[in-house]
Amino acid sequence: MEKEEYLIILGVLLIVGFFLFPSENLSGMFCDGDRGTLGDYYISVQNGFLMVSSNSQELFVARGRNVILKKIELDYSFSNGCYTLNVRRKPEEALYLFILGVVLIGMAFYYLAFLKYR
């Protein structure tokens, strides 16, 4: 096998590693007037509204069991005026695996298409 084939195989293995990388489970309980964070998410509960934001952008808003805005997958339950949240997400390191795999495969194909067989 040639070096570009090894790069393609390594890239595919890194991408597969991204999908096999375990997800993080972030959970917490927030009642009316509470504020806090879950990972990169800022959580606040005011006047019965649950608001989840990140980087000054609202990602999820709910009041009781009614979802008003949903930009992320978020498991939550509402009971006795309190929200129990559960967020599943891939860690940042897993994203680096995916990007590195795509870059390696792209480099190998660029080499094959434009440099090796000129």
pLDDT, tens digit, 9 for 90 and up, residues 43-99: 999 998 999 998 889 999 999 889 999 998 889 999 888 999 998 888 888 899 999
Q: Answer yes or no: is pLDDT of 118 > 80.
A: no
Other beta carbons within 10 Å of 110: 12
Q: Is the pTM of this model over 0.95?
A: no
Calculate mean pLDDT across residues 3-22: 91
Residue 100 and residue 98: Cα distance in Å, rounded? 6
